[in-house]
Structures are given as structure tokens and as C-alpha cells.
Chain A
């Protein structure tokens, strides 16, 4: 028991707690954590100066119980491909993602990110090197519940 320890030891121990608190509590003493980051593979879209000709396009069709409308259009702007959801609208979902896929339901796909909003036109950058003859579908997919909301076949 501590009570039976020599006085010097007790003094040392009682000094320990405030010492720890003082050295630990100052936020400025804590260095930023070194977290390894991944270089983004997709640069954000900053807008298109001139609406280019569309290479592929398709009309969205719904799955059961879902309302969806609008078109998916692929363009090439300044050397990179972009997906435009044009005049787009879809039912709300908790975790809707935009996929470029080889089939639906999706098994082989490129995740283009979260759906930006449920209605209105919106742009998504597409990673380089995509073979559009293989990735023929644009999907609106709820990732959290693995439920397909709609698809557009690119032509």
C-alpha cells in the first residue's frame, strides 16, 4: 500500500499526476497526427467552358418502386471524360452513388462518387483509361443497402 511507502516515494507519486496533466493538457503540445494520404485519382470538375459534343448518351430507367428521369451523357473535355446527368431526378436514398458499370446489378464498376443531389444537372469526372465499350451503363446505386435505383444504357 502506498501509505506504507517511504515519504520520498509518496511525494514523487503525488507529483506524478499533475505533471502528467500539465504536460498532456496543452493542446499546442500535441503535434498533428501523421496520417498517410492517398493522392486523389480523380480531379474535381471545375466546369466546362464550352459544352462539347457527347460521345455517348442514355436515358435513365427506374427499378421497381423508384422514380428516375433524365439522361446520362459522356463528353470529352480538355482530354478527360466527364459524365453529365442532364435534367436529372431520382427518388431519395440514404447513400446514392454514381457508378459506371459493365452490367447491372453492378459487379464490375467504377465508383464516380456520391450523387451530388437528387435533382438537377450535375457533372462527374471519369478516371482516365475507361473502355466505354465495356463500361456501358451508368447506374444510380444505393451502396449502403446494395439497392439499384436506376440505370442508363450508353449508346
Chain B
């Protein structure tokens, strides 16, 4: 059975012609899958600092270098508070843009006073650092060149182990839309991007199913399938000032993702992740479209 699953995942990963959406910046791809028992190697430390970099290929071959720094504070055995700052550099047909992205502040909670390691809850918020209207030489940029969606979001999720399967479910709901993007394709000097003037984005629901495997005491592999359902049609304001929904912007996205963790010492680890999309929505105006995501991170605990 396990061989069949691995062969299926390999087949999915090895698709070389993809025109699809990868993991969003919703933090979904980095939702924790750790169910480490107390006293076990790699157990969460009281303080953890993670730095992460990612290489992404987005719409119209735009390359996105993502940077993140995350501080994790364990509060007792049951609660862990995480704060993650992101930034991104985008390079493509419009030029080069760099800006801070978002702050993700989340709390994960293990019921049963932290004794159970099979189930945890997650709740948090995303706060944008930009209004998603960065420009290059005064030219409005499409969303793929924006470092943030410009929305204040609520994030809620649950993570549990079912037999040896690792399952994460989450929703990300925009509560306040502060997106002031002003890109209109009708006035764009470069074709290929959808209008996102005063863009409004709908919520996402996520389900990730992984099968974590360990090799020795240092390596952990988590091959997983990541499904994201975009719960409504996004919209923008057209040149007549009327709001227009974007056909095909709702629906299902499926990604194949492999997460690898290498425990360097009891308080230090490296993480790698590779993701590529398998099923996509028809329209993806939000700039989160990725044909490939590769990331690496380093965590230090004390």
C-alpha cells in the first residue's frame, strides 16, 4: 500500500508540463505538521527562531524570492505562539520590485494540557504591510508583483494524526480588505495579466494529507497532497467603476508537496520543501500562481 502511494506521488511530482497554481502565500504550505512527543529528539524548544528563503516561479515566468523570519514561543506544554514576517522580491516583465509582505501571528493549542500529541488547533491572523499597490516608475503592477494581498485575514485550523497519516485542515478568511491595487489590463504596457484594480479576494479552505516518514533519528520526510478550495469568485473594479467578478477564479487547486526536515542537533534543524501544482482554477488573478516552489529554512531553538 505504501509503495503504491509513493509511486503515485512520484508520478504526480514528475509531471514536467504544468501550468498551474502552487501554494499560496496563505501560509498553508508551511502549516506545521510536527507531532513530536515530549523528550523526543526535535521536541519544540521554548524559543525557536526560523529563517526561510524560497524560490518561486509565478505568472508569466515572474520569479519570486520569498524571505521569512519566524519566532516561535512555547508557552507551557499546550500552547505555542508563532510570529512570522515575510518579504518578497519579484522579478519579471515589469521589472524588479521588493517589499515587506505580511505578519502571521498564530497560536497553536494542544488539548488535554499538552499530553496528547495527536491533535492540535491553530488560530491566528494575517496583517499586511502593504496595500498591494506597489509600482515601478509609476506603473501599476499586477498582483504577482505585490508582496502582500493587502488583506487582514483570520486563520483557523486543526491538525491531527490518523494512524500514520498527518492531516491538516484550515480556513483563511479575509476580514478586512485593504487592497488598493490599481492594475488594469486595458492600460497595461505588458499583456498577460488579469485586471486587479481594487481587488477583492474570497476565502480559502485547505486540506493537506501527508504521510510522515523518518529515516534514522535525523531525517523526516512528509510527502503530502495539498488541496485548496477557493470559496468564491474574486472581483475587481473595472474602468467604469463597477465591480466585476472574475469568472473561474473560484474552485479547487491541488498541489503535490514534499517537506524534508534534517535534525542537525537537538536544537537545530534544516527544512526543505518542494511543491508543484496538479489541478488549478481556471482564473488566478491573485498573483499567487506558482508553477514551482522550492524553499529552505533553518531553525535554532533554545
Encode A31-74 as 1/0 by CB contact (under 8 A) with B: 11111111011100000000000000000000000000000000
Report B-chain residues with C-beta under 8 Å of the C-beta of A31.
17-19, 291
Give Cα distance in the complex from A30 to B289, angstroms: 13
Closest CB in chain A relative to B216 CB, distance in Å: 6
| Residue of chain A at shortest CB distance from B242 | A108
Give Cα distance in the complex from A117 to B138, angstroms: 9
Report A-chain residues with C-beta under 8 Å of the C-beta of B59.
33, 35
Encode A104-130 as 1/0 by CB contact (under 8 A) with B: 001111111110110000000001000
The answer to whether A110 touches B18, judged by C-beta atoms less than 8 angstroms apart, is: no
Encode B167-210 as 1/0 by CB contact (under 8 A) with A: 00000000000001010111110011111011000000000000
B: number of interface residues (CB 8 Å): 60
Summed over the interface, the residue pairs from A and B with CB atoms below 8 Å come to a total of: 139
Q: Which of A1-21 contact B (CB under 8 A)?
A: 1-3, 5, 9-10, 12-14, 16-17, 19-21
Report B-chain residues with C-beta under 8 Å of the C-beta of A14.
215
Report A-chain residues with C-beta under 8 Å of the C-beta of B258.
16-17, 20
Give the B-binding residues of A (Cβ under 8 A). Answer: 1-3, 5, 9-10, 12-14, 16-17, 19-21, 23-25, 27, 29-38, 40-42, 95, 97, 106-114, 116-117, 127, 143-144
The answer to whether B195 touches A33, judged by C-beta atoms less than 8 angstroms apart, is: no
Instruction: Knowing A24-B274, A110-B240 are in contact, say whether A3-B291 is a contact too (CB < 8 A).
Output: no
Instruction: Knowing A23-B16, A35-B192 are in contact, say whether A16-B6 is a contact too (CB < 8 A).
Output: yes
Give the contacting residue for B194; candidates A3, A38, A42, A107; CB below 8 A.
A38
Report B-chain residues with C-beta under 8 Å of the C-beta of A19.
10, 13-14
Q: Which of A12, A23, A36 has the most CB of B within 10 A?
A: A36
The answer to whether B191 touches A42, judged by C-beta atoms less than 8 angstroms apart, is: no
Closest CB in chain A relative to B225 CB, distance in Å: 14
The answer to whether B282 touches A33, judged by C-beta atoms less than 8 angstroms apart, is: no
The answer to whether A32 touches B292, judged by C-beta atoms less than 8 angstroms apart, is: no
B113 within 8 A of A: no
B31 within 8 A of A: no
Q: Which of B277-302 contact A (CB under 8 A)?
A: 282-284, 289, 291-292, 294
Instruction: Knowing A42-B186, A114-B182 are in contact, say whether A23-B3 is a contact too (CB < 8 A).
Output: no
| Residue of chain B at shortest CB distance from A23 | B14
| Residue of chain A at shortest CB distance from B240 | A110
